[in-house]
Amino acid sequence: MRISEVACKSALTGEKGSYRLNPYVGCPHRCAYCYASYMSRWKGEGSWGTWVHVKVNVPEVLKKELSRPSFFGETSVFISTVCDPYQPLERRYRLTRRCLEVLSEAASSGMPLRVMVATKSDLALRDIDVFRTFPEGAFGLAFSITTHRDDVAAYVEHFAPRPSRRIEAARILKDAGVRVGFFICPVLPYVTERDLGGLLDIAGELKLDFLSFDRLNYLRGHVGGRAFQAYRSLGQEALRRLEQARDDPRYERRLKERILREAARRELTAECHF
Ligand code: SF4
């Protein structure tokens, strides 16, 4: 893994009150369906998962940005889009934690902030104390999860913490009073789609606060090729079913209907981004 410490000029990207914050660029989890892998080309780096840029000054830059008069209205901050904010390097650098401390301080002093963190790592448990300093409703944490089965996840997100660890972490956070949900993104045709009922059962049992679903985007970045490679390792039937889902215009409508029906049956709040 090639680790580069960099000084960033800005912490928040986006506009009109909707921002993204990435304490790191790059991610060692190397999920087969990752939409952020295009960053390798963008940054002139090697293949996705072999490098990380560490924005060592991001908490200080964030603090300065939040003090600008332009930050006066409703503001949402999503952490993160081109990294996992609780990847292993976070143990050493603590940048996500320090950014959350800055955001919590701003929210507690009256700024109308809403912060959402998405991760695949139970390292998030380290920061329960910070999560709980946010005013009510201002903070949420989503575990990004595609299946509850560790054996299935090993094919498509081999280097990420196993789903069983994320589920246990979600349970602990819920018990600690933190707003927690699952981002089931993307639903992988045939491979994780088959287990959706099991994952929704767990979400229902945990009484999660929100669920968000997305489909596999075959076109974005390198995802098409990398996802197809993972499917190939699962055998011909998996590959055939993936191609069938991609080519069937009714597939996504049916999937969406099923998700909303099964979530409602378990009294869960779910939204589909497709
Ligand atoms: S954890 Fe997220 S950012 Fe990291 S490789 Fe997986 S999908 Fe990409």
How many folded domains does the chain comprise? 1
Mind listing the pLDDT tens digit for each residue in 189-203? 999 999 999 999 999
Domain at 98, CATH number: 3.20.20.70
Cα-to-centroid distance, 31 and ligand 1 (Å): 5
Looking at residue 226, its pLDDT comes to: 80
Q: Is the CB of 29 under 6 A from ligand 1?
A: yes
Q: Mean pLDDT over all residues of the chain?
A: 94
Cα-to-centroid distance, 27 and ligand 1 (Å): 6
Mind listing the pLDDT tens digit for each residue in 162-186? 999 999 999 999 999 999 999 999 9
Around 32, how many Cα atoms within 13 Å sit in the side-chain half-sphere?
A: 23
Q: Is the CB of 30 under 6 A from ligand 1?
A: yes
Taking the complete model, does pTM exceed 0.85, yes or no? Answer: yes
Looking at residue 70, its pLDDT comes to: 72
> What proportion of the chain, given as a percentage, has pLDDT over 70?
97
Residues 203, 266: contact at Cβ < 8 Å? yes
**Angstrom distance (rounded) from CA 273 to CA 256:** 9
Which residue range is the domain that position 42 belongs to? 2-272
Mind listing the pLDDT tens digit for each residue in 24-77? 999 999 999 998 988 998 999 999 999 999 999 999 999 999 998 777 678 999
Q: Is the CB of 216 under 6 A from ligand 1?
A: no
221 φψ region: left (φ > 0), alpha (ψ -120 to 50), beta (else): left
Checking if the pLDDT of 15 tops 90, the result is no
Query: Which band of pLDDT confidence, cut at 50, 70 and 90, is reported for residue 223?
Result: low
Q: Which of 20, 29, 162 to mutate to test the pocket of ligand 1 (most atoms within 8 A of CB)?
A: 29
Looking at residue 210, its pLDDT comes to: 97
Q: Which amino acid is at 224?
A: G
Looking at residue 16, its pLDDT comes to: 84
Mind listing the pLDDT tens digit for each residue in 74-96? 899 999 999 999 999 999 999 99
Nearest-CA residue for atom 3 of ligand 1: 83
Helix axes 163-175, 196-206, angle to 10 degrees: 20
Q: Which atom of ligand 1 is nearest to the CA of 29?
A: 5
Checking if the pLDDT of 228 tops 90, the result is no
Query: Which band of pLDDT confidence, cut at 50, 70 and 90, is reported for residue 224?
Result: low
Residues 215, 274: contact at Cβ < 8 Å? yes
Residue 129 vs residue 229, higher pLDDT: 129
Mind listing the pLDDT tens digit for each residue in 108-164? 999 999 999 999 999 999 999 999 999 999 999 999 999 999 999 999 999 999 999
Checking if the pLDDT of 227 tops 90, the result is no
Query: Which band of pLDDT confidence, cut at 50, 70 and 90, is reported for residue 215?
Result: very high
Q: Is the CB of 166 under 6 A from ligand 1?
A: no
Q: Rounded to the nearest 5°, which phi and psi values hold at 82?
A: -125, 30
Checking if the pLDDT of 233 tops 70, the result is yes
Q: Is the CB of 84 under 6 A from ligand 1?
A: yes
Beta strand spans in 123-245 (E): 139-144, 180-187, 210-215
Checking if the pLDDT of 19 tops 70, the result is yes
Looking at residue 105, its pLDDT comes to: 97
Looking at residue 92, its pLDDT comes to: 98
Q: Which tokens is 206 given?
A: 């945990």
